[in-house]
Amino acid sequence: MAEECILQTKGISKSFFGVNVLNEIDFSIRRGEVHALMGENGAGKSTLMKIIMGIYHADAGEILFEGKPVVIRETKNALDLGISMIHQELNPIPEMTVAENVFLGREPHVGRLPIVDFKKLNQMTQDLLEKYEMADRISPQMHMSSLSIAQIQMMEIIKAVSYNSKVIIMDEPTSSLSESETKQLFKTIDLLRASGVGVIYISHRMAEVFELSDRISVLRDGSLIETIDRAHATTDHIIATMVGRALSSGYPRNHAVPGEVILEAKGVSGAGFEDVSFQVSAGEILGFAGLVGAGRSETMRAIVGYDRMKSGEIYVDGRRAAVRHPSDALKLGIVMASEDRKSLGLILCRDIKENISIQNERRYSRFGFMNHRQEREQCEGIAHEMSVKMNGIADIAGNLSGGNQQKVVLAKCLLTHPKIMILDEPTRGIDVGAKAEIYKKMVELAEGGMAIIMISSEMPELIGMSDRILAMSGGRVRAEFDNRERQTSQAEILRAALKGVE
């Protein structure tokens, strides 16, 4: 048993600021297996993996690699042993190209000169991209700053694979991928598994976990509750172990009767989208489907005034609205929760309270002076309402688990009490329990008269939640589906989303 384990942790414990995050974790990964790690937001999954990678150091416990105890002080030690990781929060260097990022610090040289052989570098990257069938989505010479999150994610996957590691950790690798890219990743994982690599797979998506994994481990509040063979596991059992209670599955129904049209876009165009028109009514949940790069986020960013709109008109409550800056949108009652919480959603070095309050300062300031008590009360209230797992609202946002950061993004948008809320991948990185709560919240808000626009790459979620679905591809709206009966088929949507894409 011990021989076939490549990597083992024994009694790993860790606390931050005196708060226990991991309690004596015994976890192992075998050769050629996919081991799924599940647990609620803040359960400690990423922390455990960061300890294995040498980013954090355990307070107690040891790590065995191929049966021998090892000391992993920094990431380099882990990489040298043959452990690599795709992080939940992506860290590309924006000024560099894809190839430069993939082989950062390992660039091939011209002979023995200290000069990078760019031709070879690009070729090596191209080979990898072709081997794992991603060459049609990204190319070695693309600049990181021009990539979408999904493309960055693919770069990170290629990078992790390029180390020829024996263990690859994937921390929510699919959270920003759409269906077809996810399929691609699964093929990659199968290839890795077949060649004897052990894959640790962290995800909140039950279906993926069941499709891929050989074994499943569940963390709850920093303790490893159980490790079970996939063959013996059921979804309900896993969920119950994760959250400590049973959850009703399925999507809540929006019973609101759509009212007046609140927001209308007429022929808007800009960088990445062309001639997009749509309407959304009070009480309606409008879904946007599409592959990565379809122009959905770009359209929405322009509508809230973050990016420039080249042409087109926007009407709010039937009146022509000039939105030149997100503050204009805010005044009109339009907010957007971005999919990119790291660069557009949060100020990671500040605390939860400040993150929530910057978008809401009008609510508790007069003549430019803050009312600290009101601020604290309101921010605390909404953070609890969104069940952000925290020690208090003075916690630094960057120290929160990924899913909890996402909840803070939603909290700050919600507190503005918008009329129109644009949610870009709202459940990205969020655990099953919290997901159900967010769905419930969306329906509650819609029934209270809010218009909700949801961009999602998760087809079931899109079909389960939207009253109407627009499919985009190549920056244009290709089809519209009435989804009041929640009957639209995935295939139909996908066909529209692929239109105009070679």
Partner 1 sequence: MEKTISNQRKASNILKRFGLLLVLVLMVIVMSLVSDVFLTTGNIINVLRQVSINGILAVGMTFVILTGGIDLSVGSVVAVTSVIAGNLLQKGYSLPVTLGASIGAALLFGVFSGVLIAYAGLPPFIATLAAQTIGRGFALVYSDGRPYMIAHDTYKAIGKGSWIGIPVPIWIMAVVILIAAVVLRYTTFGRHVYAFGGNRNASKLSGLNIRTTEMATYIISSFCAALAGTILSARISSGQPTAGQGYELDAIAAVAIGGTSMSGGIGHLSGTILGFIIIGVLSNSLTLLNVSSFYQDIVKGFIIIFAVLMDLRTKRSGN
Contact 76, 83 (CB under 8 A): no
The reply on whether position 111 binds partner 1 by CB under 8 A is no
In the shown chain, the binding pattern of residues 385 to 414 toward partner 1, with x for contact by CB under 8 A and - for none, equals ------xx-x-----------------x--
Tell me: does residue 354 bind partner 1 (CB under 8 A).
yes
Residues 402, 418, 426, 474: which binds Mg ion (CB under 5 A)?
Answer: 402
> Is 43 near ligand ATP (CB under 6 A)?
yes
Neighbours of 491 (CB within 10 A): 9
7, 21, 239, 454: which one binds ligand ATP (CB under 6 A): 21
Nearest alpha-carbon partner for 363 in 354, 353, 351, 371: 371
Asked if 147 contacts 155 with a C-beta cutoff of 8 angstroms, the reply is yes
Using an 8 Å Cβ cutoff, are 29 and 202 in contact?
A: no
- Residue 354 interface partner, choices partner 1, Mg ion, ligand ATP, none, CB cut-off 5-8 Å depending on type: partner 1
- From partner 1, Mg ion, ligand ATP, none, interface partner of 81 (C-beta below 5 to 8 A by class): none
Q: How far is the CB of 102 from ligand ATP (least distance, A)?
A: 24
Residue among 402, 426, 433, 474 that touches ligand ATP (CB under 6 A) = 402
221: Cβ contacts below 8 Å, ≥ 6 apart: 43, 44
Instruction: Report the alpha-carbon distance of residue 322 to residue 329 in Å, rounded.
Output: 9
Question: How far apart, in whole angstroms, are the C-alpha atoms of residue 70 and residue 75?
Answer: 13
Reading the block at residue 298, the tokens are 């770009």
Long-range contacts of 194-197 (CB under 8 A, 24+ apart): 194/32, 195/32, 196/31, 196/32, 196/166, 197/31, 197/32, 197/165, 197/166, 197/167, 197/168
Number of residues that bind ligand ATP (CB under 6 A): 20
Q: Which of 198, 258, 293, 403 binds ligand ATP (CB under 6 A)?
A: 403
Please give the residues from 415 up to 454 whose contact with ligand ATP meets the rule CB under 6 A.
429, 431
Torsion of CA 244, 249, 252, 253, to 10 degrees: -160
On the CB side of 173, CA atoms within 13 Å amount to 28
Q: Which one of residues 8, 46, 188, 360 is an interface residue with Mg ion (CB under 5 A)?
A: 46
Q: Which two tokens stand for residue 207?
A: 């279906």
DSSP, collapsed to helix, strand or coil, labels residue 159 as helix
Cβ proximity to partner 1: between 359 and 488 the closer is: 359
Segment near Mg ion (CB under 5 A), from 43-51, 98-106, 254-262, 465-473?
43-51
> Binding partner 1 by CB under 8 A: which of 12, 144, 289, 330?
330
The binder of partner 1 chosen from 97, 338, 406, 427 (CB under 8 A): 338
118 binds, among Mg ion, ligand ATP, partner 1, none (CB under 5 to 8 A by kind): none
Q: Considering CB distances under 5 to 8 angstroms, the limit depending on partner class, which of Mg ion, partner 1, ligand ATP, none binds residue 186?
A: none
Q: Does 41 bind ligand ATP (CB under 6 A)?
A: yes
Piece of the chain touching Mg ion by CB under 5 A; list 87-95, 323-331, 367-375, 466-474? 87-95
Q: How many CA atoms lie within 13 A of 83 on its CB side?
A: 27
- 235 or 391: whose CB is closer to partner 1? 391
Select the binding partner of residue 392 from Mg ion, ligand ATP, partner 1, none (C-beta < 5 to 8 A, by kind): partner 1
Q: Residue 271 binds what, of ligand ATP, partner 1, Mg ion, none (CB under 5 to 8 Å, by partner type)?
A: none
User: Residue 19: in which H helix or E strand, if any?
Assistant: strand 19-30
Residue whose structure tokens are 């074994």: 215
By beta-carbon distance, which residue lies closest to Mg ion? 46
Binding mask 57-96 for ligand ATP (x = CB under 6 A): -------------------------------x--------
From the list partner 1, ligand ATP, Mg ion, none, partner contacted by residue 137 (C-beta under 5 to 8 A by kind): none
Residues 6+ apart with CB under 8 A from 114: none
**Using an 8 Å Cβ cutoff, are 33 and 214 in contact?**
yes
To Mg ion, the closest distance from the beta carbon of 85 in angstroms equals: 12
Measuring CA to CA, which residue among 315, 202, 207, 212 is closest to residue 261?
315
Q: How far is Cα 218 from Cα 227, in angstroms, rounded to an integer?
A: 7
CA distance 427 to 465: 12
271 binds partner 1 (CB under 8 A): no
Residue for token digits 């039937």?
318
The residue within the footprint of partner 1, chosen from 93, 207, 370, 501 (CB under 8 A), is: 370
> Of the ranges 37-45, 146-154, 223-231, 322-330, which one interacts with ligand ATP (CB under 6 A)?
37-45
Pick what 344 binds: partner 1, Mg ion, ligand ATP, none; C-beta below 5 to 8 Å, kind-dependent.
partner 1
Sheet with 19-30: list strands edge to edge: 19-30, 5-16, 60-65, 68-70
| 3-state SS, residue 267 | strand
Which residue in 81, 127, 80 sits closest to 102, CA to CA?
A: 127
Residues that bind Mg ion (CB under 5 A): 46, 88, 401-402
Residues that bind ligand ATP (CB under 6 A): 16, 21, 39, 41-47, 88, 389, 399-404, 429, 431
Residues that bind partner 1 (CB under 8 A): 17-19, 301, 304, 306, 325-327, 329-330, 336, 338, 343-350, 354, 357-359, 361, 365, 368-370, 372, 391-392, 394, 412
